[in-house]
Amino acid sequence: MFSLAFTEALVIGALALVALGTVSLLVLLYQDYKNDRIW
Amino acid sequence: MSDTLLSVQMGGVLLAIFSVLWIAYAIYTGRKAKDLDGFMLAGRNVGMAMGTATAMATWVTSNTIMLAPKFALQMGIWGMLAYATASFGLFLFAPMAKRIHTLLPKGYTSGDFIRLRYGKPTWILYLAITLVYSITWLVSMGMAGGIVLEALSGLDYRIGMSVILAVCVVYTIFGGLYAVIGTDFIQSIIILIGVVIIGAVVLINSDFGALYERIDLERPMLLTIMMPVALMSLFNNMFFGFGEVFHNNVWWSRAYAMRASVASKAYGLSGLLWLPIPIGAGFIGLFAVGLGISIADPDMVGPLVSASILGYAGAIVVFVVVFCSLASSIDSLLAATSDLVTEDIYKKMINPAAAPETLRRGAIAIIIFLGALTWLFCFLRMGTLIQVLFLSGPFVASLIWPIVCGLYWETVNVKGVNLAIIIASTVGVIVYFNIGWFVATLASAAISFVITIGMTKFAPESYDWNRLQEA
Which range is least confidently modeled, B146-150, B248-252, B258-262, B296-300? B296-300
User: Residues A14, B329, B436, B394: is their CA dihedral positive or negative?
Assistant: negative
B contacts of A17 (beta carbons < 8 Å): 272, 275-276, 280
Spatial separation of the C-alpha atoms in residues B27 and B114, rounded to whole Å: 34
Select from B253, B238, B314 the least CA-distant residue to B54: B253
Residue-level pLDDT at B439: 84
At residue B343, the pLDDT reads 94
Q: Does A9 touch chain B (CB under 8 A)?
A: no
Residue A2 at interface with chain B, using a CB cutoff of 8 Å: yes
Phi–psi pair at A38, nearest 5 degrees? -65, -45
Query: Is A5's Cβ below 8 Å from some Cβ in B?
Result: no
Which backbone phi and psi does B373 adopt, to 5 degrees?
A: -65, -45
Residues 6 or more apart from B470 whose CB is under 8 A from it?
B116
* Res. B2 pLDDT band, cuts 50 70 90: low
- Could A22 and B196 be called an inter-chain contact, meaning their C-beta atoms sit closer than 8 Å? yes
Closest among A30, A31, A29, A7 to B282, alpha carbons compared? A7
Share of chain B above pLDDT 70, in %: 98
> Mean pLDDT over residues A8-36, rounded?
94
Q: Which residues of B touch A19 (CB under 8 A)?
A: 192, 196
CA distance B111 to B345: 10
Nearest chain A residue to B282 by CA distance is A11
Q: Which residues of B lie inside 8 Å of A (Cβ-Cβ)?
A: 32, 42-43, 45-50, 52-53, 56, 76-77, 80, 178, 185, 188-189, 192-193, 195-196, 199-200, 203, 208-209, 212, 216, 220, 223-225, 259, 269, 272-273, 275-277, 279-280, 283
The pLDDT, as a whole number, for residue B1 is 43
Q: Is the pLDDT of residue B322 over 50?
A: yes
**B114: nearest Cα among B128, B105, B127, B101:** B127
- C-alpha span between B19 and B375 (Å, rounded): 17
Question: What's the pLDDT tens digit per position in B23-38?
Answer: 999 889 888 888 888 9
Rounded CA separation B176/B170 (Å)? 10
Whether the predicted pLDDT of B121 surpasses 50: yes
Inform me whether the C-beta atom of residue A1 falls under 8 Å from chain B C-beta atoms.
Answer: yes
Model confidence pLDDT, tens digit, residues B61-76: 777 777 788 888 888 8
The ipTM is: 0.95
CA distances from B441 to B70, B155, B313, B402, B430 (A): 21, 36, 39, 15, 11
| Contacting residues for B153 by C-beta, under 8 A, at least 6 apart | B4, B5, B6, B7, B8, B10, B11, B12, B14, B319
Q: What is the pLDDT of residue B91?
A: 94
Nearest Cα to Cα of residue B245 among B220, B229, B268, B279: B268
Could you give the 3-state DSSP secondary structure of residue B313? Answer: helix
**What pTM, to 2 d.p., does this model score?**
0.92
